[in-house]
Every structure is written in structure tokens, then in C-alpha cells.
Amino acid sequence: MAAFDVSHSNHDWGSRCSASLFVYIPAMAAGKQTLTGEVGDAMCGAKHMPGEGTAAECTRTCVAHGSKYALVVGDKIYTLNTSDKAVLALLDQQAGKKATITGTVAGTDIDVSNAVAAK
């Protein structure tokens, strides 16, 4: 059985393979995660616009104007992707409050599979 031996090659295949794996592994590790944070919107994040009322009122106004819901976890802001009407209703109810979100995390986006009010 033949094996590919990079030790006799002029190419730096080892570093190319490890770079590819470095990109590939985090994507695989993302999977479903559960995060708890404050429900806001992707446009304002953690800092709502002055004059827009409470955090909940600002979030609802921004979402009504096309922004997506977001989850603020510490200094990170995750955009929440869902078309599930029950999840959207819960996010509206929890605007400005804490929620626990389960979904697939990809960078700063979460494809939401479940959402509940946090205790």
C-alpha cells in the first residue's frame, strides 16, 4: 500500500493540511449550543438608541423595522436566525429580558432550535 510522504517533497504540505484542519475543526465543533443572555436586536446590540424607550421597546421597534433579534452574552452579540413563530413570540415577550437559546452557532449567528425564558 502506498502512502504519501511529504518529507521528500519541495512543498510544505504539512502546514497546508494543518491550516485546513484548523479551519475545519472549529466548524465541526460548533454544533448545537445553549447560551443565556439578554434579548435585544442585531442593529442596536447591547446599546439601544436614545429616545427609543426601554430596551424592550427599542428592540421591538428595531425588529419591526427589519432588524433581527439578537442575544447579548457578555460582550458578544449573536444574531438569532429563526422563522419559528413560537420562538419569535417568545423573543418578543423576552425583549430586554434574559432568555436561554439553543441552536447551531456559526460565528456570531445562531440558527435557533429552541428558546425559553431564563430564570
| Tens-digit pLDDT profile for residues 82-119 | 999 999 999 999 999 999 999 999 999 999 999 999 98
Q: How high is the pLDDT of residue 48?
A: 76
| Residue 51 DSSP SS3 | coil
Full-model pTM: 0.72
CB-based burial of residue 118 (10 Å sphere; 0-12 exposed, 13-18 middle, 19+ buried)? middle
pLDDT the model gives residue 53 = 83
DSSP for residue 74: T
Mean pLDDT of the chain: 80
- Answer whether residue 22 shows pLDDT above 60: no
pLDDT for 37 beyond 50: yes
Band of pLDDT at residue 31, cut at 50, 70 and 90:
confident
39 has a pLDDT exceeding 50 = yes
At the top level of CATH, the class of 31-117 is mainly beta
Q: Round to whole Å and give the CA distance between 60 and 56.
A: 6
**Buried b or exposed e, range 78-111, using 16+ CB within 10 angstroms:** bbbebeeeebbebbeebbbeebbbebebeeebbe
What is the rounded distance in angstroms from the CA atom of residue 104 to the CA atom of residue 38?
Answer: 18
pLDDT of residue 47: 83
Domain spans, the chain = 31-117
